Amino acid sequence: MDFSRDFIALACNKGVLRFGSFITKAGRNSPYFFNAGLFDDGISFRALCGFYAKAIRAAGVPCDMLFGPAYKGIPLVAGVAIRLAEEGLNFPFAFNRKEAKDHGEGGTLIGAPLAGRVLILDDVISAGTSVRESVEIIRAAGAEPAGVVIALDRMERGKGTQSAVEEVRATFGIPVIAVATLEDLIGFLADSPELAANLDAVQAYRDTYGIASTH
């Protein structure tokens, strides 16, 4: 989709997406590194939230409200709610704070009461821990997870044959919507003369660690 390429261009310009040699948490040598936390000023973060809003609208997943897991999901859920409201879609939103866990409450919710079909907003899915916690919080409140929206799907195998995104889909039976995927990134590099030198390394990484098929 056009907005996926536009998002990758923004990520490159902002230094959120970098190319080189990076060791991932899994110990893999990755030719690219993505850190959504570097959308750290008003203009770029507003643009990021706009891309999430576009992805949500394009996917058409039925939902009643938005949830942002602490901590990265907190500004994200507020920003995306604002961007959707600017387009005439007014969703309630909520987030959790982690500090309350030592009081035995399992996290304290802030914002609108969790109800109906709840869309989870996160930056990436690596181990799926954040999604699992979010699903538990939502279900404990008597609501139902509607799906997860992330910035980038690395389309990379975990310990088995599935990617973290595929594992979330299979485990919870909910859709995962990505603003952009590794395939979008490869297409962007192929069309970008100044970045094309990175294309072979990214494709080789995909051949080594990528999932067998796409959906």
Catalytic amino acids? 101, 103
Residues whose CB falls within 8 Å of the CB of residue 133, separated by 6 or more in sequence, listed in order: 69, 107
Residues whose CB falls within 8 Å of the CB of residue 211, separated by 6 or more in sequence, listed in order: 155, 156, 157, 161, 162, 163, 166
User: Taking Cα atoms as reference points, which of 95, 28, 22 lies closest to residue 65?
Assistant: 95
Local structure of 147: helix, strand or coil? strand
For residue 130, the tally of other CB atoms under 10 A from its CB is 21
H helix runs in 60-150, sequence order: 73-86, 129-140
Local structure of 145: helix, strand or coil? strand
Residue 161, both tokens: 């044959």
Q: In what order do the strands lie in the sheet with 93-97?
A: 108-111, 93-97, 65-68, 117-121, 144-153, 176-181
Residues whose CB falls within 8 Å of the CB of residue 53, separated by 6 or more in sequence, listed in order: 80, 83, 84, 87
